[in-house]
Amino acid sequence: MITPEQMKEILKEHVINLRFHARGGQGGVTASNLCVEAFYGYGVCQPSFGAERMGSPTESYVRLSANEDLVRTNEQVYAPHAVSVLDPSLLGEIDVTAGIAPGGWLIVNTTMDQITIQQVIGRKDVNIATIDALNIAMEILGRNITNTIILGALLRVMPIFSIDALADAIMQRFKGEIAGKNVAAIKRAFEETCTYETSEASDIDFSLDTKIRWQQVYPGLPGYKDLDKAGVWYCDEDVIEIGSKQVNTGSWGEWDMIWDEEKCTDCAQCWYICPDFAIMREKGEDGLWHMKGIDQSHCKSCQNCLEICPVEAITKKLKQGPAACAAPE
């Protein structure tokens, strides 16, 4: 089993990917939200609904890392390190182990034993944790709501944050007596979770589904460092050189934008408005930045610059080739 100290080290350079399977109304999405709220680092979560009605299968995804650049994606989790199943009837209905690498964890709200679960899921290379969350829910909460309880079981096998941090997140989200009962329920779940390590949990590949790093494009605007990250590109110098012709986003544009240096007053309005950083500037001998031209390999012909230019220093010309032939006269 991975220790909290090992997990902290892993989270410095990797993402922990989680997936929750539930039925509509069981609170699977709340469980994923609580993971992000309780985590000390950076996290994102996304739900995925099918038919929006009570009882239909739902999924939600969580990415957590101490490295903020590693969680910046809104895709669903394809290779989870742990999957939590809030409703045991989903085991035979949904491929709940899809994408879990050997050594990953399947956490199930069930009274079934490990052998039965292995037979149902058809795999023996994932570790299994079980918790009778329904029983705990009925005894402590008085109703069949198991979404917080499954988190107690998750923390038992994946110490991504402490049980106290989870309790704090629950106290923030819920009010009064119900918050206290949920905290009591997760602590009991943590103690009562049964674990079956069928393969080496410490051998799990934590590089799975970890995206290449994002890099912010620094526009150099006053105060830009205070803003949330925006305008990001995939950046891996060995794969895609930033701003290179390999990322030829200008290829789909219909127009070539033409810049008239004589008319241009260097007001920089086109530079501010261009969504693709396709307005090029360079620092002159006077130490100031000056308009240099338009990067046609990244300009997508949105014409924002043309419309904003106060002196009509930007015009447009239809590109040659099929796109131009297809355009109306």
| Binding region for ligand SF4 (CB under 6 A) | 257, 259, 264-270, 273-274, 276, 278-279, 291, 294, 299-305, 308-309, 311, 313-314
DSSP H or E stretch at residue 225: none
Residue ranges of E strands in the chain: 16-23, 42-49, 57-65, 82-85, 105-109, 127-131, 194-196, 214-216, 232-234, 255-259, 279-283, 289-294, 314-318
Q: Which is nearer to ligand SF4, 141 or 264 (CB)?
A: 264
Residue 111 CA to its chain's centroid (Å): 32
229 vs 317 by CB, closer to ligand SF4: 317
Closest CA to 21 of 111, 86, 112: 86
CB of 283 to ligand SF4, least distance (A): 15
Nearest Cα to Cα of residue 303 among 286, 317, 282, 323: 317
Q: How far is the CB of 289 from ligand SF4 (least distance, A)?
A: 10
Q: Looking at this protein, which amino acid is placed at residue 18?
A: L
DSSP assignment of 132-145 equals -HHHHIIIIISS--
User: Would you say 31 or 279 has its CB closer to ligand SF4?
Assistant: 279
Q: Which of 20, 66, 14 lies closest to 39 in space, CA to CA?
A: 66
Shorter beta-carbon distance to ligand SF4: residue 126 or 299: 299
Structure tokens at 193: 């979770």
Question: CB of residue 326 vs ligand SF4: minimum separation in angstroms?
Answer: 19
Count the alpha carbons within 13 Å of 134 in the hemisphere toward its beta carbon: 10
Tokens 């925006």 found at: 230
CA distance between the termini of the chain: 69
- Smaller CB separation from ligand SF4, 184 or 258: 258
**Minimum distance, C-beta of residue 308 to ligand SF4, in the bound complex (Å):** 6
Work out how close the CB of 301 gets to ligand SF4 at its nearest, in angstroms, rounded to a whole number: 5
Nearer to ligand SF4, 40 or 233 (CB): 233
Q: Which residues pair with 16 in a beta bridge?
A: 64
Tell me the C-alpha distance between 149 and 224, whole Å: 42
Q: Residue 53 CA to chain centroid, in angstroms?
A: 25
Q: Residue 234 Cβ, how far from ligand SF4 at the closest point, in Å?
A: 19
Nearer Cβ to ligand SF4 (213/317)? 317
Of the two residues 227 and 311, which places its CB atom closer to ligand SF4 in the complex? 311
- Please, what sign has the CA dihedral across residues 156, 161, 162, 164? negative
Least separation in angstroms between CB 281 and ligand SF4: 9
Separation between Cα atoms, residue 284 and residue 182, nearest integer Å: 63
Shortest Å, Cβ 282 to ligand SF4: 13
